[in-house]
């Protein structure tokens, strides 16, 4: 099993009376979960509470927020850690092959099936089956997955025999499955079977205090991987640019940006000039926007009022969804809105 998440502690800064907060750290077999943010600490607490069970877990969040790391943490801390963790990207498999990929097929089951083949469910026996982008599954395969969840059994394509299965199902998606259910693209009964425990990962823009520790972690990893041992850190302007950027690609985008900078910088510090132009440009308006929801005075240079109000509104909506486990009825109540109004706002804003 993986070691538990380290508790947050105050660390003394040498030769000063200052103490700094060490970020929460959760090592997994596929990387580390790092962060100060309260929402991320709640995610780690949920992992610790449910890891020992075999309940189904649904992980949602924008692309790049680290859903695979959460699944790895669940598997590593579970009694199944000695068995396989099998990942299936449901959106990357052609629709006519997804059933065979999941459940396997018998010889002669279809044109080209020259030999019997084991599926991902069988490969994960005794362990964890991670269905990434589960919202992409076609309806006919959703029926088979529901049977696996309800009865713990399935049939290989081209074979009528029933196979018993002992796997833990963890699913992830960046789609709103409630909207998919309303649009009849996703089965309601399957949604409720998957949504036993719901873990919501916040976007990186909603956990700005985590940008710097994540950037430093990715810098150290990139230095070790690329052999750029002359790189020792970031310049102040580089950190300012990183903190100010909205990171629409989330943690994955931050990691890629740092690796690129480590490869291209002259060193010994990664500077603002080593970062992509889009990051330097996008940060130009961020300080004023961040100041608007607080009691800070109006900057002499002015602000984009509509953009600031939109940003503040988005943050309040995301907080309401996180606090209610993405229950739109309760989130709408917190915000003083009708549920239909909230759903339309989420669609319009792309949240």
Q: How many Å apart are CA 80 and CA 287, to the nearest integer?
A: 46
Predicted local distance difference test score (pLDDT) of residue 297: 60
Local confidence pLDDT in tens for the 351 residues of the chain: 333 343 333 334 344 333 334 445 566 776 788 888 888 889 999 999 999 999 999 999 888 999 999 999 999 999 999 999 999 999 888 888 888 889 887 776 666 666 778 889 999 999 999 999 999 999 999 999 999 999 999 888 877 788 899 999 999 998 889 889 999 999 999 999 999 999 999 999 889 899 999 999 999 999 999 888 988 999 998 999 999 898 989 999 999 999 999 999 988 999 999 999 888 876 554 444 343 344 446 666 677 777 777 777 888 888 888 888 788 888 888 888 888 888 888 888 777
pLDDT for the residue numbered 298:
66
- Can 10-202 and 205-291 be said to share one CATH topology? no
CA dihedral 23, 26, 31, 37 (to 10 degrees): -40
User: In this structure, what token pair is assigned to residue 196?
Assistant: 């036993």
Q: What global pTM score does this model have? A: 0.71
In the three-class reduction of DSSP (H, G, I as helix; E, B as strand; rest coil), residue 291 is classed as: helix
Distance CA 305, CA 308 (A): 5
**DSSP 8-state secondary structure symbol assigned to residue 117:** B
Q: Quick check: 260 and 276 in contact, CB under 8 A? A: yes
Do β-strands 153-155 and 162-164 pair in parallel, antiparallel, or remain unpaired? antiparallel
Architecture of domain 305-349: Orthogonal Bundle (1.10)
Residue boundaries of the structural domains of the chain: 10-202, 205-291, 305-349
Q: What is the CA radius of gyration of the chain?
A: 23
What is the fold, at CATH topology level, of the domain defined by 10-202? Rossmann fold (3.40.50)
CA nearest neighbour of 182 among 17, 328, 350, 14: 328
Respond yes or no on whether the N-terminal peptide bond of residue 234 is cis (omega within 30° of 0): no
pLDDT value for 123? 94
Q: What pLDDT is attached to residue 22?
A: 47
- β-partners of residue 319 are none
Length of the chain: 351
Burial class, 18, CB count within 10 angstroms (exposed 0-12 / middle 13-18 / buried 19+): exposed
Please check whether residue 207 is in contact with residue 243, taking contact to mean a CB–CB distance below 8 angstroms: no
Give me the pLDDT at residue 15, please: 41
For domain 205-291, the CATH class is mainly alpha
């Amino acid at each position: 099993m993986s070691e538990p998440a380290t508790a947050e502690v105050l660390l003394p800064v040498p030769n000063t009376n200052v103490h700094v907060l060490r970020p929460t750290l959760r090592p997994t077999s596929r990387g580390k979960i790092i962060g100060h943010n309260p929402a991320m600490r709640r995610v780690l607490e949920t992992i610790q509470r449910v890891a020992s069970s075999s309940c189904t877990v649904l992980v949602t969040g924008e692309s790049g927020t680290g859903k695979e790391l959460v699944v790895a943490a669940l598997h590593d801390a579970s009694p199944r850690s000695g068995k396989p963790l099998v990942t299936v990207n449901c959106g990357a498999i052609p629709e006519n092959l997804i059933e065979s990929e999941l459940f396997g097929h018998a010889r002669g089951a279809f044109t080209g099936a020259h030999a019997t083949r084991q599926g991902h469910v069988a490969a994960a026996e005794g362990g964890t089956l991670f269905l990434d982008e589960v919202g992409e599954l076609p309806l006919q395969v959703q029926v088979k997955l529901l049977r696996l969840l309800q009865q713990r059994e399935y049939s290989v394509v081209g074979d009528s025999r029933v196979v018993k299965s002992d796997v833990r199902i963890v699913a992830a998606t960046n789609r709103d499955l409630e909207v998919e259910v309303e649009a009849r693209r996703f089965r309601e009964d399957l949604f409720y079977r998957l949504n036993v425990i719901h873990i919501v990962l916040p976007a990186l823009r909603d956990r700005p205090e985590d940008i710097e520790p994540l950037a430093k972690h990715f810098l150290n990893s990139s230095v070790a991987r690329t052999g750029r041992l002359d790189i020792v850190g970031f310049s102040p302007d580089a950190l300012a640019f990183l903190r100010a950027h909205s990171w629409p690609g989330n943690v994955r985008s931050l990691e890629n940006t740092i690796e690129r900078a480590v490869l291209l910088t002259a060193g010994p510090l990664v500077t603002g000039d080593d970062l992509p132009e889009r990051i330097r440009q996008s940060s130009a308006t961020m300080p004023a926007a961040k100041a608007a929801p607080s009691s800070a005075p109006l900057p002499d240079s002015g602000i984009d009022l509509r953009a600031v109000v939109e940003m503040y509104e988005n943050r309040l909506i995301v907080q309401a969804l996180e606090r209610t486990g993405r229950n739109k009825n309760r989130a709408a109540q917190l915000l003083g809105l009708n549920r239909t109004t909230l759903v339309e706002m989420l669609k319009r804003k792309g949240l």
